[in-house]
Amino acid sequence: MSQAPALDNLLVFTAVAETGGFTAAADRLGMTTGGVSRRIRQLEAHLGGALFVRTTRRVRLTEAGSALYDTATPALLSLRDALAQFGSTHESLSGRLRLTAPVEHAAGLLAPALARFSARHPGVAVDLRTSDSVVDLVADGLDLAIRLGHLRNSTLKAIRLGGFEQIVAASPAYLARTGTPSQPDELASMDWINFSRLQSPLTWTFTHAASGSRQTVRMRSRVTVDSTSSVRAFLESGSGVSVLDQFSLATSLKQGTLVRVLPGWTLPRGGIYAVLPPGQFVPPMVRAFIDSYRETVRVSSADEGVGLASAL
């Protein structure tokens, strides 16, 4: 090996290693799958050994490939990141943005933001996959996930985009039957709609807005559901009381089909995160969308907060 391998080939190698597939790497880089395959063959020929083991579903690094990624890529990634930041200010964005998000959040806030982003950047194609389950970004070849709430420990990289208020709500009809609680501990004797996707769906700590005093309450539930839309449907039918984020409740509160319970008490704020696959490099297209969506979340949180103050 008389000289160092081409920088472009190393960049492609890093993309394949991080995404776990030639097609996903091609989408990230705005290349064809054949172009990615050709670059990897050139690099393997130059180095004199295989860097990946190919299977029908994905590729994985060989021992030599892992050694190359671990030892050679830190400096390469720093260089690539610097070049990408410079280039993104001078060139239009292009490629396929592949992301996942919870179903209701995608429909309410994310999809319109993606539509605006793609209109500003005609070279960007969008592949949005909605799921209320946690998706494997690497296995599915995704660039990022939008996730709400409190993140579990993970090797993935998370960027906080903003926060949201968590609100206890019920229908006027349900409260007319049971009475409106004045203290959090009264919720323990009410019909709680259990949202199973939450980390601790039955135990909540309330803080009094004026005094700062706290109450931790263990709820009683006969109904368990796994989506925000189902929680809201049970609430609007008069089946009980529960917690949802401010975005999921905004329309129902404004229309009066649901009302806020315990307005003088607050729950811990949830977070909205962009979760990225392992690796130090964030492609310009992904970085640009994250910056754009952070502003969308900021404006929306402020707007909804104004409406809810007067009224997951």
Q: Please name which of 294, 306, 193, 190 lies closest in space to residue 246, comparing C-alpha atoms.
A: 306
What local confidence, expressed as pLDDT, does residue 124 receive?
93
Give the model confidence (pLDDT) of 219-265 as tens digits: 999 999 988 999 999 999 999 999 999 989 989 999 999 999 999 99
Going by the DSSP 8-state scheme, the letter that residue 145 receives in this structure is E
Residue 20 Rama label (left phi>0; alpha psi -120 to 50; beta)? left
What's at 84, amino acid-wise? Answer: A
Which DSSP helix (H) or strand (E) runs through 61?
strand 59-61
The helix-helix angle for 284-310 and 246-255 (nearest 10°) equals 40
Ranking 129-138, 153-162, 208-217 by mean pLDDT, the lowest is 153-162
What's at 116, amino acid-wise? Answer: R
Give the model confidence (pLDDT) of 84-113 as tens digits: 555 544 457 888 999 999 988 998 899 999
Is it the case that residue 75 has pLDDT exceeding 90?
no
The contacts of residue 311 (CB under 8 Å, 6+ apart) are 253, 254, 259, 260
Mean pLDDT score, 122-148: 90
C-alpha–C-alpha distance, residues 100 and 36, integer Å: 24
Mean pLDDT score, 124-138: 89
Is it the case that residue 78 has pLDDT exceeding 80?
no
Residue with more model confidence, 301 or 284? 284
Where in the sequence of the chain do the CATH 3.40.190.10 domains occur?
Answer: 95-161+271-310
> What residues are paired with 53 via a beta bridge?
60
Cα three-residue angle 286-288-293, rounded to 5 degrees:
95
Residue with more model confidence, 92 or 159? 159
Domain 95-161+271-310 of CATH type 3.40.50.2300: no
pLDDT band for position 307 (50/70/90)? very low
Which DSSP helix (H) or strand (E) runs through 53?
strand 52-54
What local confidence, expressed as pLDDT, does residue 309 receive?
30
Instruction: Dump strand ranges (E) for 81-236.
Output: 95-101, 124-130, 144-149, 157-164, 166-170, 192-195, 203-208, 214-218, 221-225
Mean pLDDT score, 113-126: 93
Rg (CA), the chain: 24
The fraction of the chain above a pLDDT of 70, given in percent, is 86
Whether the pTM exceeds 0.85: the reply is no
Residue with more model confidence, 164 or 28? 164
The helix-helix angle for 22-29 and 33-47 (nearest 10°) equals 110
What local confidence, expressed as pLDDT, does residue 79 receive?
66
**Top CATH class, 7-88:** mainly alpha
C-alpha–C-alpha distance, residues 7 and 305, integer Å: 49
Mean pLDDT score, 32-43: 91
What local confidence, expressed as pLDDT, does residue 7 receive?
78
**Top CATH class, 166-268:** alpha beta
C-alpha–C-alpha distance, residues 115 and 134, integer Å: 24
C-alpha–C-alpha distance, residues 302 and 164, integer Å: 9
What local confidence, expressed as pLDDT, does residue 302 receive?
58
As a whole number, the mean pLDDT across the chain is 85
